Amino acid sequence: MNVTFRQLRLFLALADTGSVSRAARMCHVTQPTASMQLKEMSLSIGVPLHEVIAKRVHLTDAGKQLARTARSIVDEWSAFEQVIDATKGLTRGKLRVAVVSTAKYFVPRLLGSFCATHPEIDIALEVLNRDGVVQRLRDNLDDLYIMSTPPSDIDLEDFVLMPNPLVVIGPNTHPLASGQDIPLTALAKSRFILRERGSGTRMAVDAHFKRLGFKPNLRLELGSNEAIKEAVAGNLGLAVLSAHTLHGQTQEHGVSILDVRGFPIESKWHVVRQKGKQPSPIARVFLAHLLSESGRWASPRDQ
């Protein structure tokens, strides 16, 4: 088999975009050139690497294995380039981070403070639901992953970032909005709006309610923190969300944190990567930055 490094980059772009034309643009070649290079790779390897179904590229099993191999090679080369740049007194390269949607309330600020001191580093930030982040973690697509409930079936390096308190919120006009030490039983007749099943927040909430023997009267399941806050503000029910979704405030845009006994739920934010993954120099520096700077973004309810 005779495959060039440039062809590997092109195939990786194809795997990431699902389109020959987009892969060609990413690699700054024409579409006919990209198609020819991809055909040469299949001929050299001796088996089909991709197929087009309904105008969408799908990788074959061999193509998926090649994409994993290509990603490892490209990542190793990127790390080598960063090491060489460091010996020249340069700090540049690309950092890839995937985070669950709730982390969007604080991660961009941590990225901003990092970029202020490392302006030559390009950041690729993926904001997804937990299932999406876990899949990227399984596929080893990024340098670091931030979530509240890391999967237990993957061997991980796990760094606790900061507290992620989960609080009960209700509309500002709720009769209990000004109450203190409210017993959970007082919420038995209230309707609840909760995150979708499979989210880290929902997993923590379900486990907490089960421990307390409380069964919430569920009205809605939504996949967006903002949609849940709007539904609560519209008097559709109560919710349990990360305190970070209220930007550290006790009141925001028509909703308030209720002082319910047994809350906040003590959860944590974690930074993880697969165990055995060799971090790039930039990933090591960014992780150190996260761990040193995260304290200033912790919710006031934890301080």
Per-residue pLDDT tens digits for 139-181: 889 999 999 999 999 999 999 999 999 999 999 999 898 899 9
Residue 99 is part of which domain span? 91-162+268-302
What is the domain count for the chain?
3
Percent of the chain with pLDDT over 70: 95
pLDDT of residue 163: 93
- The CATH number given to whatever domain includes residue 177 is 3.40.190.10
pLDDT of residue 271: 97
Helix (H) or strand (E) holding 36: helix 31-45
Looking at the fold, whether 25 and 63 belong to one and the same domain comes out as: yes
Would you give the DSSP letter of residue 265?
B
- Residue corresponding to tokens 């760094």: 159
Q: Are 258 and 181 in contact (CB under 8 A)?
A: no
Query: What are the beta bridge partners of residue 221?
Result: 194
Looking at the fold, whether 291 and 149 belong to one and the same domain comes out as: yes
Specify if 192 maps to a domain.
Answer: yes
Structure tokens at 5: 């490094």
Specify if 263 maps to a domain.
Answer: no
Specify if 77 maps to a domain.
Answer: no
pLDDT of residue 86: 67
Specify if 85 maps to a domain.
Answer: no
Looking at 223, 239, 258, which one is the last position of a domain? 258
Looking at 222, 238, 258, which one is the last position of a domain? 258
The residue-averaged pLDDT of 104-124 equals 88
pLDDT of residue 297: 57
Between 133-142, 161-170, 293-302, the lowest mean confidence (pLDDT) is in 293-302
Specify if 150 maps to a domain.
Answer: yes
Closest CA to 11 of 2, 97, 26: 26
Looking at the fold, whether 180 and 238 belong to one and the same domain comes out as: yes
The residue-averaged pLDDT of 196-208 equals 94
Specify if 207 maps to a domain.
Answer: yes
pLDDT of residue 80: 82
pLDDT of residue 72: 86
Instruction: Provide the strand spans (E) within the chain.
Output: 50-53, 56-59, 93-100, 121-128, 144-147, 156-163, 166-171, 191-195, 217-222, 238-242, 251-252, 255-258, 268-274
Looking at the fold, whether 55 and 191 belong to one and the same domain comes out as: no
Specify if 185 maps to a domain.
Answer: yes
Query: What are the beta bridge partners of residue 99?
Result: 127, 146
Looking at the fold, whether 32 and 149 belong to one and the same domain comes out as: no
Q: From residue 76, how far is each of 69, 80, 136 by CA, in Å? A: 11, 6, 18
Helix (H) or strand (E) holding 70: helix 61-87
Looking at the fold, whether 210 and 289 belong to one and the same domain comes out as: no
Looking at the fold, whether 36 and 55 belong to one and the same domain comes out as: yes
Phi (first) and psi of residue 62, to 5 degrees: -65, -40
Looking at the fold, whether 44 and 122 belong to one and the same domain comes out as: no
Structure tokens at 266: 């003590």
The residue-averaged pLDDT of 81-86 equals 74
